[in-house]
């Protein structure tokens, strides 16, 4: 019940990121940036996920289950208006265990409509890395399935939400710790 209330509160807040070219995470209230946990539980899945903040990072972790057609966990910004058209991509400083991830962009609030994913992963175990994902490498997905299309330039002007999602549909534990997300010109 608590999680549901926090989700509703989080979804009612609007962020404007036109002047903010990065998210620097940590326990400080100025660093939390209203990100919310969304997992396959919203569709009947049974994966276990949690979102925590350390002094300087945001941590998404848990256990992915494929039962009940599940298989994902994500953290997303609350709905807002984000104009990313002046940027070429996104740089993420992170360390992870046991999963591949994608940075997601949505230009519509309806989850059944297409969104865009830029994949990233580490072949290192729990070591800090920086990965850059260029917007021209983002691919369009609809309800988790690729459409064969790419991110359109006009979509970057009208982003309503962004996030990080597990992408492998692989059962078992996962963890990603994120220091910062920065949009690059």
Q: What domains appear along the chain, each with residue ranges and CATH number? A: 2-184 (2.60.120.260)
Question: Using one digit for the tens of pLDDT, what is the confidence trace for 75-104?
Answer: 999 999 999 999 999 999 999 986 899 999
Tell me the torsion sign for CA atoms 63, 69, 71, 73: negative
**Distance from C-alpha of 159 to C-alpha of 35, rounded to nearest angstrom:** 15
Q: Are 101 and 133 in contact (CB under 8 A)?
A: no
**Distance from C-alpha of 118 to C-alpha of 136, rounded to nearest angstrom:** 9
Look at residue 8 and tell me whether its pLDDT is greater than 80: no
pTM: 0.84
The set of residues, in sequence order, having a beta carbon less than 8 Å from that of 97 and lying 6+ positions away, is 125, 126, 173, 174, 175, 176
Strand ranges, E, within the chain: 22-24, 35-39, 48-53, 58-64, 73-77, 89-97, 101-106, 115-120, 129-134, 139-142, 145-150, 161-166, 172-184
Question: Using one digit for the tens of pLDDT, what is the confidence trace for 29-48?
Answer: 666 668 899 888 777 788 89
């Amino acid at each position: 019940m608590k999680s549901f209330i926090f989700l509703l509160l989080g979804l009612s807040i609007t962020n404007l990121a036109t002047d903010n070219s990065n998210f620097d995470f940590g326990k400080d209230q100025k660093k939390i940036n209203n990100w919310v946990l969304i997992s396959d539980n919203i569709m009947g899945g049974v994966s276990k996920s949690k979102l925590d903040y350390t002094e300087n990072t945001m941590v998404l972790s848990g256990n992915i289950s494929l039962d009940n057609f599940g298989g994902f966990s994500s953290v997303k910004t609350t709905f807002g208006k984000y104009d990313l058209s002046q940027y070429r991509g996104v740089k993420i400083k992170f360390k992870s265990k046991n999963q591949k991830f994608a940075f997601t962009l949505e230009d519509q609030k309806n989850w059944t409509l297409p969104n865009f994913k830029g994949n990233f992963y580490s072949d290192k175990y729990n070591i800090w890395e920086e990965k850059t994902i260029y917007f021209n490498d983002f691919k369009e997905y609809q309800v988790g399935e690729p459409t064969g299309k790419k991110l359109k330039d006009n979509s970057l002007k009208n982003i309503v939400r962004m996030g990080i999602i597990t992408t492998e549909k692989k059962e078992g534990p996962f963890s990603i710790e994120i220091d910062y997300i920065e949009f690059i010109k």
